[in-house]
Structure 1
Amino acid sequence: MQRYFITLLFVLCLALLGFFWQPTGLPWRPQPLLVLPMVFGYVVLVCLFLERAIEVFLSALRGGGADRLDQQLRAFDALVNPDESARTQHRMLQQARSDYRSHSRLIAQQMGLCMGLLVALVGLRILEQLVLDVPAGWQGRLFSAVDILLTGSVLAGGSDAVNKLTKAYGQLMASMAKKELPQ
């Protein structure tokens, strides 16, 4: 219940911020839907680089432990007639390997978010590509902060998530093209 209260409070604060400061709307680029394929292409490319970098770091940090657990599991798999004690130990080892993988995924997600935010912080951003001009002052700073958080999160999601977005965009454009064709 407390999580929902915090979310509701956050939404209320944002609504009050908009009410009292009255930010101006940002001008869209002409035909922003035509810019999206280029933006998605760059994002996929950066995601691929990030995923590879995370793989390298993660394998350096966690690879040895995973290899040891896999080797122990293979040793149990080679047993012909394991007794109940060996089967119990095998299940515990499988659970340990599963926990190890889960922890590795958590580390990879955290590394992905940090690296994605860092990439966005240095200037490779998504929303900025869709508007003509970012205003100066508090609204521009807030826009940049939101753009950094959004871009970092998208990059942390990886290239598979971006590919899904790209496919959805392609389907949207195809359905729009079908509607525009004269019957």
Structure 2
Amino acid sequence: MAGLQSVWEGGWHRGAVRLPSPNFGPRPLGALQVVDLVVVHSISLPPGQYGTGAVQQLFTNALDWDAHPYYQQIKGLQVSAHFFIERNGRLWQFVDCDQRAWHAGQSFYRGRANCNDDSIGIELEGLEGFTFESAQYEALGELCRHLIERYPLHYVAGHEHIAPGRKQDPGPGFDWAKLSSELPVNILELPSQATPR
């Protein structure tokens, strides 16, 4: 129990930079007992630019829509994820994991729809189709190990797997086998791209 208390403060991870988002809601009744999925996303704002702080602004409804031409395409968007991992591995948290973040949209996976209801959303700073940094895999693996201690996790999938045809992130540049090597053996089921160990 002491180990859990050192990592978690309720649904907030003590190792993350906490920046609460207004874009969340309660999980449906009983959903907290079946939070068994981690959804991996990728995001950068503007696309392909890193370290701008714009992702944090987007998730807290503070983005200046006129700051870049691309932002007009997403103007008014209200979204969030539970976590965001920067290129250097720095971890941010926007939504209490006991709450429902707005990251998955229309989705279906492991026989259930509306993946926001019973999943944890983790955004990696990156661009779909491009590669990610070792520090990000390490931070993601550590975070998943900590999440396993608190929630009945069984699956990890990309946004592309829960919303095929609609979403393409994190894309072919994401190394599922590399993530698998960061996780406890036979604990989490990853998409078929991961090489079995």
Scaled by the length of structure 2, the TM-score of the pair is 0.21
Q: TM-score, normalised by structure 1?
A: 0.22
Q: Which structure would you say has the larger Rg?
A: 1
Higher helix share: 1
Q: Report which of the two has the higher share of strand.
A: 2
Greater length-normalized contact order (CA 8 Å, ≥ 6 residues apart): 1
